[in-house]
Structure 1
Amino acid sequence: MLTETEGRNAVKLARKTIEAFLSEERFPDPEELDFELSQVFGEKRGVFVTLTENGLLRGCIGHPFPDSTLEEAIMDSAISAAVNDPRFPSVEEDELKDIIVEVTILTPPEKINASPKELPKLIEIGRHGLIVKQGYCQGLLLPQVAPENNMDSIDFLSNTCLKAGLAPDAWLKGAEVSCFEGQIFKEKEPYGEVFEEKFSDQ
């Protein structure tokens, strides 16, 4: 688990990276950061960066698996969320004043070994994110997606299947389902105070 300070710095790093890339197509220099990255940023972690503008999704991309250091994964995901999300046009530099930056640190995904009918009982809304995989198709939804959209566990499974490009009932028909947890840090407003958002306590 990251501390509040580490979470705040994770969001700051994401925003600074987007600013540097949109203005000069580069990563931020260490001397530009007004904070120090602790040891945890050198550990391999999965992470997603989510951008929202006026309450609407503006970009969300990440590393589902711990394949890079947290620092590298945040910077790569931040740039990808801003300019490489195929669902949206690239973020423009003057949009940043209206965009809220959110960083979700992931635990390693674990396959749920249960019969399809048992799956909904094992998914805790607000705590678990899901990955559904079948053949070459794979889809992921972060833990915050279900409570933000008033989904129950069956809705959540079905929507993760749809995200993978599969039929909504693929989870009942042999698709592999994995779960993970996420620690969510986000700005209260663009460039504003960063807080840890917790849905599982609600």
Structure 2
Amino acid sequence: MDEQTKKIILDIARKSIEAAVKQKPRPTFSTDHANLQGRQGVFVTLKTCGQLRGCIGRFVSDMPLYQSVSEMAISSATEDPRFEFNRIKPSELNHLEIEISVLSPLKLIDNPLDFELGKQGVFIKKGLHVGCFLPQVATETGWSKEEFLSHCCASKAGLPANAWKQKDVEIYTFTTEIIEEKK
């Protein structure tokens, strides 16, 4: 995405978050920008002083990207269950760091180790158990591929850590385009 598109998408995210945190009406957005019309998956990650404050997304969308960004930004700020008792406060807004990950389509892989660590994220599925890690999690943690998959199974999908080795577990990969504010 070009810089203008990135600026638009970050502005939509920030205005959506600010309205939600201040309990004001949800803003409405409209844009004809071609890069924001696609039906793509997106995750919005929020941090304050480098500490995670929310991260929610979806892999597929039935709405244009700019609307999905608004929805996921609001959800990240107000619905992440990890922060149920510690939601983002209006006093944090000036320090809030926004990172938007625009996702490629999911690709099912046969070999669980057949992905590029730090470049591709994983989505793991077994029955109703699902979990995912964005590609940047590997970079932030320094995990090996095996650790990346094991942590995703155990901490995200609610499966045993070694479940990724089982034949009935589906593993998908995806890439992201990361858009973040320059602070």
Report the TM-score when normalising by structure 1.
0.83
**Aligned pair 1:92/2:89, yes or no?**
yes
Question: What RMSD, in angstroms, separates the aligned Cα atoms of the two structures?
Answer: 1.6
2:59 alignment counterpart = 64
Native 8 Å contact 1:65 1:109 kept in 2 = no
What's the secondary structure of 2:150's corresponding residue? helix
Question: Hey, which bits of structure 1, 4+ residues long, moved more than 6 A?
Answer: none
Q: Distance in 2 between matches of 1:72 and 1:38?
A: 12
Native 8 Å contact 1:53 1:99 kept in 2 = yes
1:172 is displaced (CA, Å) by: 0.3
What's the secondary structure of 2:56's corresponding residue? strand
The one-letter code matched in structure 1 to 2:177 is Q
Sequence identity of aligned pairs in percent?
36
Q: Distance in 2 between matches of 1:48 and 1:24?
A: 22
Q: Distance in 2 between matches of 1:73 and 1:24?
A: 19
Report the TM-score when normalising by structure 2.
0.91
1:187 alignment counterpart = 181
Native 8 Å contact 2:43 2:102 kept in 1 = yes
Native 8 Å contact 1:9 1:37 kept in 2 = no
Structure 1: state its 5+ residue gaps. Answer: 190-202
**Aligned pair 1:146/2:138, yes or no?**
yes
Q: What does residue range 1-202 of structure 1 map to in structure 2 within 5 Å?
A: 2-30=1-29, 38-88=33-83, 89-114=86-111, 119-120=112-113, 122-162=114-154, 163-174=156-167, 175-189=169-183
Structure 2: state its 5+ residue gaps. Answer: none
1:27 is displaced (CA, Å) by: 2.2
1:79 is displaced (CA, Å) by: 0.4
Q: 1:39 to 1:18 in 2, by over 3 A?
A: same
Per-residue deviation, residues 104-159 of structure 1 (Å, max 9, x unmatched): 00001111023xxxx22x21112101000001000011111101111121111111
